[in-house]
Amino acid sequence: DVAPKREIKQTDPKPSLPPGMVLGPDGKPCKICTAFRSWKPTAQNDNAQADKSSGKKNTAAMMAAFASGKGFASTPDPDVRPEHCPPDVEQLGRATWTFLHTTAAYYPEKPTPNQRANMLTLLRSLPVLYPCSHCASHLDSNIRDHPPNVSGRVALSRWLCERHNDVNERLGKPKFDCSIEKTDERWKDGPSD
């Protein structure tokens, strides 16, 4: 089970929290829980707050910017990420969904007991290991409410699509049509033309 985590989000009544910033269980800015555009220091404050010797915006600099309330971009910048930048919550999410939906699309129609057991282990590992702690925490309760259906690829694809839709809904994004035709088109076959 995932241990309870202390999370503070943008929506919590914390006046000095920069827009979009998510704090981790340690109370520090959680980079992997936050979209890059929300934690990227503004160019104006970048020089003062960055550790120039190492070229890193370290946690202390992040916290200083956070505490000042001035060190972060107040409006979303275009997500122009330097090459080789570590993933943010969005890039990690897209990569994870790609892996999971594609794996579900190619999962057998009639999986063996061993394949079912391994798929269950994979899915149940996510809330324990997923690096974005607040994403993991939501997923943990979601999986408890909706246990994985690993009986075959159609059922699994739908189950996963619905879990993704739960996240979409929470983030204010449109829902995806979870019919097998649509999930296969997106993750296995491509459009017909």
Where on the chain is the footprint of ligand FAD (CB under 6 A)?
89-90, 93-94, 96-97, 101, 126, 134-135, 138-139, 161, 164-165, 167-168, 171, 173, 176, 183, 186
Q: Which two tokens stand for residue 4?
A: 């309870």
Cβ–Cβ under 8 Å, residues 21 and 32: no
Listed in sequence order, the residues at least 6 apart from 17 whose beta carbon sits closer than 8 Å to its beta carbon are 8, 10, 23, 66
Q: Name the residue nearer to ligand FAD (CB basis): 66 or 187.
A: 187
Please list the residues that pair with 8 across neighbouring strands: 23
Greatest CA separation for the chain: 59
Nearer Cβ to ligand FAD (37/49): 37
Q: Which residue is nearest to ligand FAD (CB)?
A: 93
Q: Which is nearer to ligand FAD, 20 or 71 (CB)?
A: 20
Closest CB 113 distance from ligand FAD, rounded Å: 26
Cβ atoms of 186 and 169 closer than 8 Å = no
In angstroms, give the least distance from the CB of 163 to ligand FAD.
7
